[in-house]
Amino acid sequence: MPLRVHYGFADWLLFPVMYHVVRYRRKMVDKNLALAFPEKSKAERRHIARAFYHQFCDTIVETIYGYRCSDEELRERVVFDHMDEVNRLVDAAGGGIFMLAHFGNWEWMASIQQWLTEGVKELNVYRKLKNKSMDRLMLALRAKRGGACVEKQRILREMIRYRAEKQPVTIGLLSDQKPRPEVTRTWVNFLHQETGFLDGGEVLGKKFGYPVFYLYITRTERGYYHVDMRTLAAKPQQTTEGEITKAYAQVLEQNIQAQPALWLWTHNRFKYRKNAM
């Protein structure tokens, strides 16, 4: 089916059910928006919430559609900028770290494999789902464009194996999940909240000497995304502890403030506090 048919399903069935009937995590979204944007009125935050649920529904149908669409079409729908610089740094170091967030259509970002130098393998770190059918579906969707999914617990071993085989790799990390306070090493003032951040991208970048990038996503129109590849650290070993993670948090906040409806507000991002350690 054409994508416009999928959007019709999202507009006339999925959104009303999710927003009005089931009210999927509405309280959590409202709470998060109130914490992140205290300067905005309730009406403004309500507008962002509605726009977010529309985007969330679009992400669902776009992901399904993306499994069948051609590489050529997806290359037009997701454009990665500054890839010459990215490929230059990745080729020189033998790998790279791509840090991104649950922002826009994060599932389509796996198509970056098409923009990499030939021979470079894209590995996407993921957390195995409890539902086996959904887990198989997500693996198939994310591996569609030639990349591979690797469970979080196995990524270090896989990176060591690829390096031993002299196979250049890039690692895709969704880095906006909430870490537990007892393992959090980097806290940042993020959207007016003292927030803990995962530092896996920084740790891996330093360990392997891989440059670290952030995928700054902009939705240019419905079904089209522009990705500005921003270098967080060309030589991560020369950075101080926490510097890369803090840089990631800062640019993510800028990304959210520019298009707030595109972030995944349904997750409990601000659950933990630094003083809870």
Q: How many structural domains is the chain composed of?
A: 2
Are 25 and 115 within one domain?
no
Q: State whether the Cα torsion 91-92-97-99 is positive or negative.
A: negative
Are 82 and 10 within one domain?
no
- pLDDT value at position 194? 94
- pLDDT value at position 178? 87
- pLDDT value at position 144? 72
Are 62 and 83 within one domain?
no
- pLDDT value at position 133? 75
The reply to whether 273 falls in a domain is no
User: In which domain, by residue range, is 128 found?
Assistant: 78-263
- pLDDT value at position 53? 98
Q: How far apart are CA 189 and CA 246, in angstroms?
A: 9
Query: Which ranges of the chain have pLDDT less than 50?
Result: none
pTM: 0.94
The reply to whether 269 falls in a domain is no
Rounded to the nearest 5°, which phi and psi values hold at 41?
A: -75, 165
The reply to whether 275 falls in a domain is no
- pLDDT value at position 232? 98
Are 158 and 122 within one domain?
yes
Residue where a domain stops, chosen among 68, 103, 119? 68
Are 97 and 121 within one domain?
yes
- pLDDT value at position 128? 78
Are 172 and 113 within one domain?
yes
The reply to whether 51 falls in a domain is yes
206 Cβ contact partners less than 8 Å away, ≥ 6 residues apart: 236, 237, 239
Are 180 and 45 within one domain?
no
21 Cβ contact partners less than 8 Å away, ≥ 6 residues apart: none
Are 152 and 248 within one domain?
yes
Residue where a domain stops, chosen among 42, 68, 94? 68
Residue where a domain stops, chosen among 33, 68, 103? 68
- pLDDT value at position 181? 83
Q: Which of 164, 87, 86, 157 is nearest to 125 (CA)?
A: 157
The reply to whether 276 falls in a domain is no
The reply to whether 128 falls in a domain is yes
